[in-house]
Amino acid sequence: MNKAIILAGGQGKRMKADMPKPLFKVLGEPMLEWVISACEDAGVSDICVIKGFMGEMIDEYLGGRCKTALQAERLGTGHAVMQAVPFLKEDESGHTLVLCGDAPFIDSDTIKSALEAHIEQNNAVTVITAELENPHGYGRIIRTATGISGIVEQKDATEEQKAVREVNSGAYWFRTADLVDLLGKLDCNNAQNEYYLTDTLSIAISEGKNAGAFRSENAQIIRGANDRKDLLELNDYARRAVIGKHLINGIGFTCTDGVIIERGVEIGVGTEILPGTIITGKTKIGKGCTLGPNTVIDNCEIGDEVTVNSSQLNESTVENDVVIGPYVHVRPGSCIKSGARIGDFVEIKNSTIGEKTAVSHLVYVGDSDIGKKVNIGSGTATVNYDGVSKNRCVVGDYCFIGCNTNLIAPVKLGKAVYTAAGTTVTGDVPDYALAIERGTMKINEGYTLRKLKATLPEKK
Ligand code: UD1
Ligand code: CA
C-alpha cells in the first residue's frame, strides 16, 4: 500500500510565535491540513507526520488522525525521514510520498501524475520540481543528456548550477523498499553538515537504479512561508483562487474587498457576495442569495433567495426566502424557517423561528421554539437562564407578542396567544388567550409644574 510522510518539524522563528510552522493557517486551515487533504484526495491515507518543534501541538491538532514520529534533533530532511523507518517497514511493498508540511499548495493532481510517471519510469525516486523565476535558496535539479544526475543545494552549488531555474519542490515519490535502503546510505558531508534527503537521488543513480524528475506546471506547489509577510501572501493567493472558482461557477462579486471564503464553502449559482463578507467552515449556501456587506457566516446551511445584511451567523440553518439583518446575531443551534424576517439588533440562540415569523427589532430569543407567522414585538426577551440552568420557551403558531414582553422559561404559549406590551409571562397561556400583567396606570395632574416650582430659586 502507498504511504506518505509529511515533514512538520519546523519552528518558523520569524513568525515570532511558539507554534510549529505547519500549524500556521492559510484561509482558516493549518498549512498541514492543506497537505494532508492533498494526500487524502490523491488516495494516500496511510500518513506519518514527522514532528519536531513543539511536537505535542501537532499531536493535539491531529487527534490521532495520522501516525506521527518525533525528530528530536534537527539534522536535516534526510534525518527527518529516517524517523519514519519503522512506519515504512510496516509495509515496504508500495510507494511512499514525502511532502513538506509547510508548503500548502501541493495538489492531488500533481501527486497522482507524479506517481504515474514514477511507476512508468520504474524509478526508485522521483522528485517533483517546478521552474521558478528566482530559484535562490532551493535545491537545483541537475539534468543530463540521459535524465537527471541529482539535486544540488544552494549552499553547495557552483555558479553554473545556481543558474538552473528548475528546483526541488521538496515533494518526492519513492519506492518504499528503496527509500529504506537509501536512508541508510546518507551522510552529512556537505556545507550544512546535514543529512540531505536530496542525496537519495545521486545515491540511487550510482547504484544503477532509476531516478527521475517530474516537473509540475503549477509552480505554486513550491510556495511556503518563512515569515508573516509570506503567510499573508499565501492567504492572498488562496483567497483569490477560491473566489476565482466561485466566479466560474456563476457567483457574483462586484467588489471582493474584505471577502474571505474558505475552501470548504459551497455556494449556489446566482448568489451575490458583497464586500466584507467572510464565509467559513463547511458552510453551504443556496442559489440567488445576497450576502453582505460585512457579514460573517460560519458552518451554516443557507437556503435559496436568502438575504443576510451586516450580520453574523454561526452553526445554524436558514431556510429559503429568509431576510436577516442588518445587525443580527444568529448563534449556534438555531433554525430560521422559510420566509421568516429577522431585523436589526436581534439575537437568536439555539432556537427555532417558524415559517414567516417576524422578529423585527431589539429582541433576544434563546433556547426557544417559536411557531409560524408569529410576530415578536420590539424589546421582547426570553428569560432562558435563571442563574443555574437554561430552560426553553415555546410560542405557538400565530402568536402576537407585545413589545417588551418577558417570557420566563420554562413557559409555553398556545396557539394565537396575545401578550400585552410590557407583560412578564410567568406561566403557560392557553390557545387564543391574552396574557396581560400590568399595574393600573395613574394620572398625577400638574406634577411637572409643581416639581418645577419647588425647585426654582425664590423670586425677589
Ligand atoms: C529543502 C531541500 C531543497 C528544496 C526545499 C524546498 C534538502 C536538503 N533540501 O531545502 O532541495 O528545494 O526543501 O522547500 O532537503 N525539516 C525537518 N527536519 C529537518 C530539516 C527540515 O523536518 O531536520 C523539514 C522542514 O520543517 C520543512 C522541510 O523539511 O518542512 C524542508 O526543510 P527546509 O529547511 O525548509 O528546506 P531546505 O533544507 O532549505
Ligand atoms: Ca525551505
Q: What is the CATH number of the domain that holds 8?
A: 3.90.550.10
Query: CA-CA distances (angstroms) from residue 170 to 132, 151, 402, 419?
Result: 14, 11, 66, 69
Residues 6+ positions from 172 with CB-CB distance below 8 Å = 97, 98, 125, 126, 127, 128, 197, 200
Q: Is 80 near ligand 1, meaning CB less than 6 Å away?
A: yes
Please tell me if the CB atom of residue 168 comes closer than 6 angstroms to any atom of ligand 1: yes
* Closest ligand to the CA of 21: 1
Q: Does 318 map to a domain?
A: yes
Look at the block and give the residue holding cell 444568529: 330
Q: Measured from the CA of 75, which atom of ligand 1 is nearest? A: 23
- Is the residue at 21 inside a domain? yes
- Across 5-28, b (16+ Cβ under 10 Å) vs e yields bbbbbbebeebeeeebbbbbebbb
Do 270 and 202 reside in the same domain of the chain?
no
Cβ of 200 less than 6 Å from ligand 1: no
What is the C-alpha separation between 303 and 194, in angstroms, rounded? 56
**The last residue of a domain, from among 163, 192, 222:** 222
Query: What's the CA-to-centroid distance between 77 and ligand 1, angstroms?
Result: 5
* Cis-peptide, bond into residue 326, ω within 30° of zero: yes
Q: Are residues 76 and 215 in the same domain?
A: yes
Closest CA to 94 of 195, 5, 186, 7: 5
Atom of ligand 1 nearest to the CA of 21: 26
Instruction: Please tell me the predicted confidence (pLDDT) of residue 146.
Output: 85
Please identify, by atom number, the ligand 1 atom nearest to the C-alpha of residue 224.
Answer: 14
Contact in structure between 39 and 97 (CB atoms under 8 Å): yes
Please name the residue whose Cα sits nearest to atom 1 of ligand 1. 170
Distance 349 CA to ligand 1 centre (A): 47
Residues taking part in catalysis: 361
- Residue with the smallest CA separation from ligand 1 atom 16 is 77
Ligand nearest to the CA of 7: 1
Same-domain check for residues 295 and 181: no
Nearest CA to ligand 1 atom 21: 77
Quick check: CB of 102 below 6 Å from ligand 1? yes
According to DSSP, the residues that pair with 48 across neighbouring strands are 5, 67
Does 7 contact ligand 1 (Cβ within 6 A)? yes
The verdict on 194 and 295 lying in the same domain is: no
How many other C-beta atoms are found inside a 10 Å radius of the C-beta of residue 447?
Answer: 9
Our answer on whether the CB atom of 50 is closer than 6 Å to any ligand 1 atom is yes
Same domain, 138 and 202: yes
- Provide the domain count of the chain: 2
pLDDT at 396: 98
> Among 11, 48, 71, 77, which is best to mutate for testing ligand 1, by the most ligand atoms less than 8 A from CB?
77
Q: Is residue 320 a part of any domain in this protein?
A: yes
| 312 C-beta closer than 6 A to ligand 1 | no
Q: What is the pLDDT of residue 458?
A: 67
Whether 454 is covered by a domain: the verdict is no
Alpha carbon of 206 to ligand 2 centroid (Å): 26
Cα 146 to averaged position of ligand 2 atoms, centre (Å): 28
Spell out, as residue ranges, where the chain has pLDDT lower than 50: none
- Asked if residue 159 is part of any domain, the answer here is yes
Assess whether the C-beta atom of 12 lies below 6 angstroms from ligand 1.
no
The Cα 96–Cα 48 span in angstroms is 10
For residue 203, which amino acid is it?
Answer: I
Query: How close is the Cα of 157 to the center of ligand 2, in Å?
Result: 16
CATH number of the structural domain spanning residue 375? 2.160.10.10
pLDDT of residue 289: 99
How much distance in Å is there from the Cα of 12 to the middle of ligand 1?
A: 12
Residue that is written with C-alpha cell 424576517 in the block = 341
- The residue count of the chain comes to 460
Same domain, 255 and 285: yes
Do residues 281 and 161 share a domain?
no
Q: Verify that 251 and 185 share a domain, yes or no.
A: no
Q: Which residues of 176-214 are buried (b: 16+ CB within 10 A; e: fewer)?
A: bbbbbbbbeebeeebeeebbbbbbbbbbbbeeebbbbbb
Q: What is the pLDDT of residue 351?
A: 98
Please name which ligand lies nearest the alpha carbon of 151: 1
Of ligand 1's listed atoms, the one at least distance from the Cα of 169 is 6
Distance, in Å, from the CA atom of 383 to the CA atom of 352, rounded to the nearest integer, reads 16
> How far, in Å, from the CA of 171 to the mean position of ligand 1?
10
Q: 10 CB under 6 A from ligand 1?
A: yes
180 with 326, same domain: the answer is: no
Is the beta carbon of 84 within 6 A of some atom in ligand 1? no
- Closest-CA residue, ligand 1 atom 32, reads 77
The residue whose CA is least distant from atom 33 of ligand 1 is 77
Supply the range of the domain harboring residue 105: 3-222
Spatial separation of the C-alpha atoms in residues 134 and 129, rounded to whole Å = 14
The residues near 382 (Cβ < 8 Å, ≥ 6 apart) are: 351, 364, 365, 366, 367, 368, 393, 407, 409
Question: How many percent of the chain have pLDDT more than 90?
Answer: 97
Q: Is 239 a domain residue?
A: no
Q: Are strands 67-70 and 406-408 parallel, antiparallel or unpaired?
A: unpaired
Same domain, 193 and 307: no
Question: Are residue 248 and residue 215 in the same domain, yes or no?
Answer: no
Would 422 be classed as within a structural domain?
A: yes
Q: How much is the pTM?
A: 0.94
Is the CB of residue 55 below 6 angstroms from any atom belonging to ligand 1?
no
On whether both 212 and 118 belong to a single domain, the answer is yes
Does residue 397 line the site of ligand 1, with CB under 6 A? Answer: no
Calpha distance 9→18 (Å, rounded): 13
Q: Whose CA is nearest to atom 26 of ligand 1?
A: 10
**Does 116 map to a domain?**
yes
